[in-house]
Amino acid sequence: MTDLDLYLASTSPRRRELLAAAGLHFALCEPGPEYAPGGGHEHASERGEPLALAIERATRKGMGAAVLDAGVPVLAVDTVVDLDGRELGKPRDRGDAEAMLRQLAGRVHRVHTAHLMRQASSGRAELLVASAEVQCGQPDPRELARYLDSQQWRGKAGSYGVQDDAQGFFRVIAGSFDTVVGLHVPAVRELLRRMRGPA
């Protein structure tokens, strides 16, 4: 498996799509535990500042990932939606999604994506964070209902995907679109460059 650029320790189809579109050769591996024992879960955030939580989770996923080839770096990623210093996690159900979307409506929020790359053979680990700002418009009741009916919000932080075709009210106003989708390709390329360079 020496032709691999990296292992991706993620279950996210969106991250797989971004890496594949970038022409990177990767295989999947099981990530480490996302949440600390006794901590939160995807529907109930741990306490803490959203950026710090993204870093902690990416680190746990990456450091705990099991890889087949210790010479191939492993990438773990975590994305959080930050509304006024408070994390909006993944919705439990439609009602939860609607409540989050109403909180975001008409406001600007931040999205942080933390990338942790490590190489088991050297013990080396590097971290990069990409952040972006997103403007949420004021969807009318029909627009909101259409998006909720689409089910595209399921499993997504903040109850939305900026790339979802069933909505048109989220817009990236600063930073990169892929950061909001869930993986910043230039950050991954920089981490690979660092892994190949001198320690």
Q: Which of 78, 49, 75 is closest to 63 using CA atoms?
A: 75
Q: Which residues contact 86 (CB under 8 A, 6 or more apart)?
A: 50
Rounded to whole angstroms, the Cα distance separating 199 from 117 reads: 14
Residues forming a β-bridge with 87: 82
Neighbouring CB atoms inside 10 A of 55's CB total: 20
- Alpha carbon separation from 173 to 80, 100, 112 (Å, rounded): 17, 20, 14
Catalytic amino acids? Answer: 78
Tokens coding 141: 């009741």
Handedness of CA 42, 84, 186, 126 (dihedral sign): negative
Q: Locate the DSSP E strands across the chain.
A: 6-8, 26-28, 74-83, 86-88, 108-119, 124-136, 170-174
